[in-house]
Every structure is written in C-alpha cells, then in structure tokens.
Amino acid sequence: MGTFISHSPEETECLGEEWGRSAQQGLVIALSGELGVGKTQLVKGLGRGLGLTSRIHSPTFGLVNIYTGGRLEIVHLDLYRLDTPGQVASAGLEQYLSPDGIAVIEWAERMITFPRKLKTETETPPLPCAKLRWVRIESLSETERRIEYEDFGA
C-alpha cells in the first residue's frame, strides 16, 4: 500500500500524471473520497500523463465520459448520482470494468464496499477486473490530502 500527501490540487494532478505515464491497458482505478477532495484533479493528471489534450471534467450527469487521443483511452465513470450497487448494475456500467485503455471510477464505493483499511495483497480484489488500483482520498486540511492506494492483479 502506498500513501501520498498532497499539499495542493497541482500536486494531486502531478501524482495522476505520474500514474498516467506508467498506466497499462486494462487498468481500473477505483476512487473513493468525499466531495471536493480531488478525485477529478487526479483524473486530469492521469489524462495529461497519457498525452490527452481534451479537457477532462467529471461526468456526474452523464455517468460516463470517454477520452481518446492519448496513449490509452480513458473511460471515466462518476457514480455520485447512484446510491446502491443495484442501481450501478441497472445502469449497465459493469461493462467498463474490462477497458481497452483504462477505466477510472469516481465514487467507487457506490459499486463496492471499501473496508476501513485497504486489503492486503493476498486477498481478492473487490471488483472483477484483472488490474485494479484502489484509491482512497481523505481531506487533512483545506489544502492537504492523504491519498492511499493499493494495486491488485498483474
């Protein structure tokens, strides 16, 4: 498990950019955290790291945005308006868990239950995908964020 302390939205984007540069096809990034903690900032950085030039914004009302034109496509899901795993299943979003590029899920706790502590690498990931990065973002202060993450799969 890794932990990163961000002191600004720009630092959060830089972490995302680093992840984007090393991201491989099929990666699913599940993001959890309260409103305004920087989930979309992280996705913006991912896009920059993948070489995307299009503007990335949260797909809250459309549920899914797809960005192409970079090294890998990003499927960006936002589950904020869905309350239960049943609503997520009814929306047909599980099809995006095996992306041709990478998938990023904001409010992933609406699809799965995040434990208080991230799971150990010997346990099975909570989503049916080959490569999963599980990320929890927590506000420490007005500008500081704790970003905890753990990778599952090859």
Q: What is the pLDDT of residue 92?
A: 80
pTM: 0.86
- pLDDT string in tens for the chain (154-residue length): 899 999 999 999 999 999 999 999 999 999 999 999 999 999 999 999 999 988 998 877 778 999 999 999 999 999 888 887 778 778 887 778 778 899 999 988 887 655 445 455 444 445 556 688 999 999 999 999 999 999 887 5
Q: Are 94 and 85 in contact (CB under 8 A)?
A: no
Q: What is the pLDDT of residue 19?
A: 97
Q: What is the pLDDT of residue 11?
A: 97
Q: What is the dotted CATH code of the domain comprising 2-152?
A: 3.40.50.300
User: Using CA atoms, how far apart are residues 129 and 106, in angstroms rounded to an integer?
Assistant: 16
Q: What is the pLDDT of residue 124?
A: 47
User: Using CA atoms, how far apart are residues 137 and 151, in angstroms rounded to an integer?
Assistant: 15
Q: What is the pLDDT of residue 116?
A: 46
Q: Are 112 and 84 in contact (CB under 8 A)?
A: no
